[in-house]
Amino acid sequence: MSLGIFFAVCATMLVTSFLSGIFGMAGGIILIGLLLALLPVQAAMVLHGITQLASNVWRAVTWRKSVRWDIAGVYSCGSLIALGAWSITGYVPDKAVSFLLLGVTPFMMRAVPRDLQPDPESRVQCVLYGIGCTGLILLTGVAGPMLDTFFLGGTLGRRTIMATKSVCQVLGHTVKLIYFAGVVSEPGTVDPLMAGIAVAMAAVGTMLAKPVVEALSDKVYRVWANRIVVTLSGYYAVYGLYLVAIPLI
């Protein structure tokens, strides 16, 4: 990795951790897009996992008083089921698949009939989304679009959403690290210096974001969270289709 790319990645880590600190997502989606463009899939997943794990741990600690541990606990059951199932296959997605799924997932979620809309306080849905979101993390590196749709579908406040989602993401990115750094046949590796910088950038970005979250209303939070998800997902869907089409041209 050249010096220019190194600094670009570090700056992106800081900015994306700040965005994630505000909305609990968005930053991770931007970062995985950059890393997938620069690194092999396994290495991109490991470095992204370290960054996002650190970011979500800081966020969970920052908002620990607002965590709904009952929701996070049931969700974790689904995550462990997904890890067990994926470990049997050892599947590593190619970049086209990752980008395409990053893009289309939020739009698929919005196509769900209104009477089947997500409810984070439903135990059955918590398990199902734990399986689905963890599977998506192992395919694309992130589960932000699906997890955001899940939490925004209920009536929880922004602090509760931020805190509980962070705990769920800690588990999801831990599963991703276990899978891509140890389970797959060709594990990804990351320079220790880059890993340390990733943790530092995650901490700084999260701390800078807290005052912004406090200043937002629940209504503004939900509006901008949805806008960011749709915009980023639209871009990745187009780019994923482009990668799929290249071999056919």
pLDDT, tens only, 10-40: 777 787 778 776 765 566 777 777 788 777 8
Predicted confidence (pLDDT) per residue in 138-175, tens digit = 888 877 767 877 887 778 887 888 889 889 989 988 99
Say how far apart CA 13 and CA 52 lie, in whole Å: 9
66 DSSP 8-state letter: G
Single pTM value for the model? 0.75
Which position has the higher pLDDT, 197 or 80?
80
Higher pLDDT pick, 36 / 81: 81
Whether 225 has a pLDDT exceeding 70, the answer reads yes
CB contact at 8 A, 55 and 17: yes
Residue 221's pLDDT band, with cuts at 50, 70 and 90, is confident
Look at residues 1, 81, 22, 13 and name the one whose alpha carbon lies nearest to residue 227.
22
**Helices within 141-191 (DSSP H only):** 144-152, 158-178
Structural contact between residues 164 and 150, judged by C-beta atoms closer than 8 angstroms: no
Longest dimension (CA), the chain: 54
- pLDDT number for residue 119: 85
| Among 51-60, 89-98, 122-131, 240-249, the least confident range | 240-249
Among 18-27, 172-181, 210-219, 225-234, name the one with the lowest average pLDDT. 18-27
Instruction: Please give the residue that has the higher pLDDT: either 242 or 226.
Output: 242
d(CA 161, CA 121): 11
> What is residue 114's predicted lDDT score, i.e. its pLDDT?
63
- pLDDT recorded at residue 116: 66
pLDDT, one tens digit per residue, over 61-71 is: 888 899 999 99
Q: What is the CA radius of gyration of the chain?
A: 17
| Confidence (pLDDT) at 105 | 75
CB contact at 8 A, 25 and 144: yes
What is the reported pLDDT for 230?
78
Q: How far is CA 178 from CA 53, 152, 183, in A?
A: 12, 28, 7
C-alpha pair distances (Å), 51 with each of 55, 160, 199: 6, 22, 6
Whether the predicted pLDDT of 7 surpasses 80: no
89-128, pLDDT tens digit by residue? Answer: 888 888 788 778 877 877 776 676 666 678 888 899 999 9
Q: What percent of the chain has pLDDT over 90?
A: 12
**pLDDT tens string 194-213:** 788 877 877 787 778 778 87
pLDDT at 6 over 70: yes
Cα-to-chain-centroid distance, residue 43: 16
